[in-house]
Amino acid sequence: MEQSDLSEHKFNAIFTHAPIGLAEIDQDGKIIRLNLMGHTLLDPLFKIYQVGAENLYPILDRIFPGITEQIKAYQAPIGPILYNQLQRFVLPGPNDQNEKHFQFNITKMFEDCIIVGFEDLTNKYLEEKAMQQANLESAVAQGKFEIASEVLHDIGNAVVGFGSYLTRINRSMELDNVKNLENVFLFLKGIEPALNTALGDQKAQALLNLMDGIARSEKEKHSDIRKSINEQLNIISHIQEILSIQRQYVTGYGATDRKSVSLKEIIQDCQAMLFASYDKKDIRFNFQSDQQIPLIKGDRTKLMQVILNLLKNSIEAIDLDAPEKNISIELLAKDKMLELIIQDSGKGFDAETAAHLFERGFTTKNTGTGLGLYNCKSIIESHAGSIDLSSKGPGLGVTTLIRFSQ
């Protein structure tokens, strides 16, 4: 047997016994040849749909509407027409659930030679679907309250971030040029006689009216923006209160299983999230940690919420014109304990304030809800930990000490 004949023989054998259906058709859909698996898959469909077995297009149109037009419209001399396309169709009959899932690959080999590959993935698809459904039901049954808790805390973190940006905008409003515009107007008003001489009465008056209008307009705009920001901050406070209540319901029924988490990674993630806030105020941030920090069992989202809240408090406690702007974190492992120490150079507090810091509803902020530190304490204690805030007095910063048992 010559080499070319041997190669053709091998190709025919591969085509005939391929584990997927293969059909060679011409441009009009006429079946030139159909392999064994192709007969196995299509013969029942030819009978069910009552179409002839000489042309592939009628059956393709039944199970894959529009595909024949796509094949006919393909103008390139060779190339792929369809690649790994999964098509769902339902066989006619009383059983509406008799669905099939075929995967198609269609390639134009050369003029008037098109190879259609098709595979029945129904069993595989239904098995995967059943497994996914079982896993979903299991997850819902075993962890729906835990999932709800995580979602609530994610929302909480997003709200905290949004609030911090609003606070930044609010503070930037304090640096606007409204006062400067008013001063310019007063200056021009003070030299009105000189302006009248230099510009003429009408032009001088027009200039004064223009500056007065600009100053008034900017002042009104400034007032409206500040009012809108404060309204948004109040809305955020209400959302945080609602989230706090929902967390109490969820955690009252949630799963008690917890995963191993790394406090070092949580701190690094929080640092990245607050980088813009540090940069805006030109705050120096320093994080030091022992080389080997053991993992703890806990809820990563809740612990991140605590650290974000504490760092956010430290950032807000540092004024823009403060001589020192520092926040430092130390994470230490000693005496079978993990110690997390956060220090800032912020406003600090007195002994009377210290006595009420963790009380529900107590706050020293104009837009605060009094839930931040209260929730932090609840979360830390739920992780068998302790939290304490101390200050040497107003203007002398705050030190936060959190301890976890290893």
Which ranges of 28-121 would DSSP assign to H, the alpha helix? 36-49, 57-63, 67-72
pLDDT level of residue 259 (50, 70, 90 thresholds): confident
pLDDT level of residue 362 (50, 70, 90 thresholds): confident
Tell me which of 157-161, 192-196, 394-398 is least confident: 157-161
List, for residues 349-360, the tens digit of each pLDDT value: 998 888 888 887
Q: Is the pLDDT of residue 5 over 80?
A: no
In angstroms, the CA 167 to CA 224 distance is 16
Classify 3-120 by CATH class: alpha beta
Could you give the C-alpha distances from 279 to 115, 288, 325, in angstroms and in order? 61, 19, 11
Please report the pLDDT score of residue 401 as a whole number: 94
Tell me which of 224-233, 259-268, 371-380 is least confident: 224-233
Instruction: Measure the CA dihedral 261/266/267/270, to 10°.
Output: -170
Please report the pLDDT score of residue 94 as a whole number: 67
Give the pairing type, strands 296-298 and 385-390: unpaired
Please report the pLDDT score of residue 4 as a whole number: 61
What's the rounded mean pLDDT across residues 128-134?
Answer: 82
Please report the pLDDT score of residue 253 as a whole number: 46
The CATH number that domain 259-405 falls under is 3.30.565.10
In angstroms, the CA 64 to CA 46 distance is 14
Please report the pLDDT score of residue 113 as a whole number: 92
Contact call for residues 362 and 370 (beta carbons, < 8 A): yes
Instruction: Write down the pTM of the prediction.
Output: 0.41
Please report the pLDDT score of residue 254 as a whole number: 43
Q: Which helix (H) or strand (E) holds 101?
A: strand 99-110
List, for residues 66-84, the tens digit of each pLDDT value: 999 999 999 899 999 999 9
In angstroms, the CA 206 to CA 103 distance is 77
Could you give the C-alpha distances from 133 to 126, 145, 310, in angstroms and in order? 10, 19, 41
Name the residue ranges covered by the structural domains of the chain. 3-120, 141-253, 259-405
Please report the pLDDT score of residue 20 as a whole number: 93
Q: If you average pLDDT over every residue of the chain, what do you get?
A: 82
User: Hunting for tokens 């990674």 — which residue is that?
Assistant: 265
List, for residues 299-339, the tens digit of each pLDDT value: 887 888 899 889 999 999 999 888 899 999 999 998 888 99
Please report the pLDDT score of residue 255 as a whole number: 45
More confident residue, 238 or 398: 398
Q: Is the pLDDT of residue 222 over 80?
A: no
More confident residue, 351 or 276: 351
More confident residue, 396 or 233: 396
List, for residues 284-301, the tens digit of each pLDDT value: 999 999 888 889 888 887
pLDDT level of residue 34 (50, 70, 90 thresholds): very high
Q: In what order do the strands lie in the sheet with 326-334?
A: 284-289, 326-334, 337-344, 398-405, 385-390
List, for residues 385-403, the tens digit of each pLDDT value: 999 999 999 989 999 999 9
Percent with pLDDT over 70 in the chain: 81
Strand partners, 276: none
- Token pair belonging to 29: 């859909």
More confident residue, 186 or 393: 393
In angstroms, the CA 152 to CA 145 distance is 10
